[in-house]
Structure 1
Amino acid sequence: MTHDQLTRNEMLRLMAGAAATCALSSSVRGAVVPADGQTEGAKVASQMLKRPIPSSGELLPVVGLGTYINFDVAPRSAEYARLPAVLDALFASGGTVIDSSPMYGRAEATTGELLAGTKARKPFLATKVWTSGREAGIQQMTQSMRLLRTERIDLMQIHNLLDWRTHMPTLRAWKAAGRIRYLGITHYSPSAYAEVEAVMRSEKLDFLQINYALDDRAAEARLLPLARERGIAVICNSPFGGGGLLRRLRGTPLPGFARELGATNWAQLALKFLLAEPAVTCVIPGTGNPTYMAENAAAGSGPLPNAQQRRELIKLAG
């Protein structure tokens, strides 16, 4: 089996997990609904935290938006019609990071279309190169810029390390020319973490995007400490562990300290758990629901759990 075939098979597994996440109802998220019927977490966050990108010092809002599955929708569909409000909720909270990929079907095109129709603040656009060969990579990245309707990508990432040795010189040349601002790598599988670590040690990277969740903490062992050591910003994808985490916590009472952290549901606690890790720069939960986007963004403001509270959350997550 080739690397490309493996990646495509892995993608199918990821799609199944992401689809389960998309199907979660507000009850699965463990929302605490006050008497007025509005989920408190849906209210606009007062002040989203920002963290510096180590390689530049630029401040980045800590909660962004992933476009996997939810933005791969047809224009004029009901799902598409909800997405402008999702972006409004992101920007209203102070968030800017929007992450996509050619792997995500129509997500790049949808993102570009919606951003062209808004006068909101400038987003921090991140996407990926996901193909083999130098010329194919250049063509794909050029297509991504066209679909996203931009002349410059903030962050270009080599998706799942596919043909990374070929793409890295191109990314460096594009960064020097100002076509991209930052470069990075991504992966989701612990079986590839040894290779991820080797690339982190051998290459000068601005970003690492990796799976990290309350119930998926394999990155804590070596990758997160190495990111701090090497000055690499970390973006956390799949912050709800593919959806299983929130399903398992359904019906479990929130811990007593949730209120002091400003968390009103398990999704917010799961995000705050990640943001309490100093190596983490940004989390990118995916959603096509404006209320969920506002709730997720609200997790980026207020206090974060301390070490004891993080240990308690790990126990509750099983």
Structure 2
Amino acid sequence: MAAGHRYAPNRRSFCWQLLAAAGIAPLAQASLAQARAGGAVIMRAIPASGESVPAIGLGSWITFNVGNDRVARERCFDVMRAFFAAGGRMIDSSPMYGSSQSVIGEGLARIGRAADVFAADKVWIGSGSRGPAQIEESRRLWRVPRFDLLQVHNLLGWEAHLPQLLAMKSAGQLRYVGITTSEGRRHREIESIMASQPIDFVQVSYNPLDREVESRILPLALERRIAVIANRPFRQGELLRDLERHPLPPWAVEEVGCDGWAQFALKFIISHPAVTCAIPATGNVAHVRQNMGAALGRLPDAAMRRRMAEHVQAL
């Protein structure tokens, strides 16, 4: 793996200064302190409201797009059951994700968890006039009375969709509004929207190798009190496949409590003070349990985060 840009030594202190200025440092510090001492699932406050959500969520890109295959759908339901049992709440999907929405909806009904989910979905259509119909179809597939969070997926038609989502929020039809991007695309436009629009969430790619968002987007999220969802924490599995060719360093086990490379990557991600939730996707029960384990026990401090990033970049 080629070395990326270096983690700025003062970045964490700068982020805590922004947290303090925003009035949410005590909540974040308490969460991190609890995490490092062990105990309950790590929770993160949504800056716009103070509501807390678990720091690990569940993505559905590819893994839940199983069509009408009953065996595969049952596996997805088992993943959801294990996710909630481990303390999870946020599930993220999109109309772009094939049958994922209907799988989630059937799963929530089957396991009786529709009242517990933090339902995060997206509008993904070029036509602004067709956005409301797509959103209603998504809600029908999820089988929920309303979404907690709706995001403009990859900024497609955001100029039309964002005012509609904000109007839904004002009318009580939606709780939070956000925007998304992935794989480092359109970061400059993301920053512009974050700086000028009253959004509650931003979703970006972030992991020990993809760290461009550390320079501007994550500090801006702290400054603007915008929650951050980290997607592609494993680069769609590519990162873990590369890392698993190497032994997990003993210090990651002894000092951070990592049980495998997945927890190594996730603990790195959710220990950043701007990150609200990471959303790894999986169709494997053992994997979802391991992912949720990253929201237990210790989290790395600034020095350990640097060590973790440098170790991954050097492999």
Aligned to 2:25: none
Which of 21, 40, 51 is the matching residue for 2:44? 51
Letter in 1 for 2:172: G
Note if 1:211 corresponds to 2:208: no
- Which residue of 290, 304, 307 maps to 1:312? 307
TM-score w.r.t. the length of structure 2 is: 0.84
Q: Deviations over 1:177-222 (max 9, x none)?
A: 1111100000014341000000001101100010001111111110
* Distance in 2 (alpha carbons) for counterparts of 1:195 and 1:214: 23
Match of 1:267 in 2: 262
Aligned to 1:139: 133
Q: Is the 8 A contact 2:184 2:204 kept in 1?
A: no
**Maintained 8 Å contact 2:58/2:90:** yes
- Alpha-carbon distance in structure 2 between the residues aligned to 1:164 and 1:187: 12
- Aligned equivalents of 1:109 and 1:119: distance in 2? 15
> What residue number does 1:105 align with?
98
Query: 271, 294, 297: which one pairs with 1:299?
Result: 294
In the TM superposition, what whole-angstrom CA distance separates every residue of 1:216-237 from its partner, at most 9, and x where no partner exists?
1111110000000000000000
Match of 1:287 in 2: 282
Instruction: Give per-residue Cα distances to partners, 1:126-148, cap 9 Å, x unaligned.
Output: 00000022221011001111111
What are the within-5 Å matches in structure 2 for residues 155-166 of structure 1? 155-166=149-160
Residue from 173, 179, 188 that aligns with 2:173:
179
| Aligned residue-pair number | 274
1:117-128 matches, cutoff 5 A: 117-120=110-113, 122-128=116-122
Gaps of 5+ in 2: 1-37
Q: Secondary structure at the match of 1:126?
A: strand
Cα separation, 1, equivalents of 2:199 and 2:230:
16
CA deviations on 1:140-171 (whole Å, 9 max, x unpaired) are 00111111111210000000011111011110
- Identify the residue that residue 169 of structure 1 maps to in structure 2: 163
- Give the Å deviation of 1:248: 1.9
Gaps of 5+ in 1: 1-44
Name the TM-score, length of structure 1 as normaliser. Answer: 0.83
- The separation in 2 between residues aligned to 1:59 and 1:135, in whole angstroms, is 33
Q: Percent identity?
A: 46
CA contact (8 A) 1:108 1:148 kept: yes
AA aligned opposite 1:150: V
| Post-superposition offset of 1:46 | 5.8
